Structure formats: structure tokens, C-alpha cells
Structure 1
Amino acid sequence: MTTPAVPDLNIPGVYRIENISVKEGMPMILDMTRAVYPHDDVYGQYCTVQDFIDAPPDEVFEYLSDPRSLEEWTYSMRGFEETEEAGLWISDDRIGDNTKIYTRTVSSPDARTVDYHCAWDQDKHLWMIYLMRVIDAQVVLNKPGSVVLWTNCHHPFYDENPYPETAPSDREPWVGDFWELFYAGHLMELRNLKAICEHRYAHGQPITPEWMR
């Protein structure tokens, strides 16, 4: 069964072989390819980090899907306690001095996606969304293991605290003040995740530790 012929998409900004030849399109592609990119062009609106982990994808996914794993592999989230609302956790984000952070995990075993819905100071609007996906490396790299993709979107609330009345009076920084450092910071944390998973798997230990079970 073949798909029906697609009509001409006469839409400005849509480039397809039907309306622009390879010879015409190549200079456009080359013009978008640069040796040096401004930081804001790369990390202004979205921040994505990725890495290979030499451990089975199902086990890496299981570990990530429990928000308490953040206690181990993130730089600054500590002291997780489940609130009275099932699935909603509160912890300290020590990068923000006296800051409480709320976290809810939304995961899909079939797609191996793990999304952390978070917010500083209040739990009514979890607007900081950390999007993660665990991929079977056998499929994409032809070797055993996992590829982890992690993306953040620059929500407008990063620019200004929408709930200033919930913030500690003695706290100076706002989470958005660190946006330009998100790539480096998240890459460090992803490497923490890699080191933990690979160490446990290589030593025959469960990646999800007993204290989380």
C-alpha cells in the first residue's frame, strides 16, 4: 500500500524537493552550518544534553522513574519526602540556599520517558519540566547499553518568579539566574548518572538500590 500523492504545500517557509532543488537548497543548508555558534543560539530556548550509559535501558529507566534517584545523581536535590499528596515529593534544592523544591514524576515504560515536573517554593504549579528519554543503544548505536536524552525548555517563568510571595525572604538567587549554566550543570549531572549506573551494573549490583525499593 502506498501513500496518496501529497499536494503542493504552498506554505511560506516550507522547503521540499518539489519546490526547491538540491542545488538550490544546499547553499541554504551550508549557510545554517557554522564553525562557531553564539551561546544563546544553542542554549537560549532549549537545553539538551545526552550521553551513552553502559547499562541496560530498562534498568536505567526503572532507576530514573523513581524521583528519589535524584537524591543520588543530581548535584543539589536532597532529603526527599513524599507529601500527603500521593506521588508528590518535597526536597531541598541546596543550590538555592533555603529552597524547597516539589517534584512529581510522569513516566511511560513503553517509551521509556521520564518527565520530572518541578517547582521551587510551591506545589500548585509545577512548571519546571525536565524531559528525559532512555533509548536502547543496540537500536541506535549497534551496541548494548542505553542512550539518555535530557531536554529543558526555557519557560518564561525562568525570567521572573511568578510566585514571589512563596519564596524565602532571605534567598537571593532565582532558578532562572542559572539558565546560562544549565547545559554545563546538567551535563555534569548526566555524567553522575552515567557513573552511578555503570559502576553498579559492572559490579553486579542492582542500579536501583535497595533503599529505594
Structure 2
Amino acid sequence: MMTSQAMAAVPATQGTYRPDAVRLVAGFAGLGAAAVNLAVASSLFAASGTNFPGRVAVATAALLWGGALLGWTVAGLSRNRFPVPLASALLLPAAAAAHVAAIVLGAGSGMAGLGISHLAALLLTLMILAATSWLGRRSPSLPGGSGQDASGRLGAGPLIAAAFAGALLVAAITTPGLAASTAGEFAVPHGEHTGGHHSP
């Protein structure tokens, strides 16, 4: 009887690490998407000479969405559960659709270079959607944190590996998105801190 209980406890404990890993990846993607949206907002605000109807309104929307997404992500990671799931289930697809529209419509405006930033934000938003959807289906059956003992520590390696892989994937998507923004264009490359953009 004890053996069967021990065997049953191991899958339950290991199962808690898979949602933790997915939650971390969603958090990384949320931080990356927030950063890219804020970079898009700064690029639109800085493009004063660009003939782009509604530029200020779009920039304000990107700024507000980036700030809200940053707060939502930090709250989700700190509480181990992302807040306002119903609202996020509506806003995240709307944000993805807005990025698709920006990619399509931006090709004919003076802000075509932001297409890469919008593409990065779109991919990150889809990652958040996939992760939170999986967590939403999984959460009712999750154990309430029991069994986090010696057997649970066996899952720490896979958890760290999944978090590392997720961080690399998010960084690979976020970096080009930030580089395509105005902030990325004015960033000083490594090895050019003397002179470079600081010289007249």
C-alpha cells in the first residue's frame, strides 16, 4: 500500500513543474511583449515628421497596452497565477489582431520599419495566449502545492531547463523587435562607446 502511494505521489509532484515552466515562459513572453510595445510607442511618438494618420493615438494605445501588459505579467509571476483571466482572454487576441493590422497597414506608411517590431510582438502575444490557454485548462486539476519535498526536487532540473529554453526563445524574438524600433536604431553597438553616436 505504501509503495502504491509513493508511486502515485511522484507524478502528482512532477506534474506541478510543468505548469510552473509554462507559467515562466508566459511570463518571459509577457515581459518581452511589453518591452516591444513600449518600444513601438516610443518610435511612434518620436516620428513627428511621418505622415501616419492617427500616429499619436496608436502610440498612446501601444504605451498603455505595454504598461498594462508589464503590470499583468509581474503580478502573474509574483502571485503564481495571472490575474483577470477573462479580460486577458479577450485583450490578448485583440492585441494580436492589432499587430497583424499594423504589419499590413504599416507597409504603405512611413513606419514600415516597425513591421519587425510588430511581428515580434505578435509572436510573443501568441506565445502568451498559448501558455495561458494551457494553464487555464490545466489549473482546475492542479494539486494545491502538496508534495513539494525530496521527490519534488527531482523535477527542478527539467524546470530550469524549460525556463532557460523559454528565455532563449523569447530573447531571440524580442531582440530583433527592439532593434527595429527607434530606441534600437540609436543604441550604441558594442565596441563603439568612444565616438560613435556621441561624436558630432
TM score, norm. by length of structure 2:
0.24
> Which structure's residues are more often helix, by fraction?
2
Structure ranking higher on relative contact order (CA contacts 8 Å, 6+ apart): 2
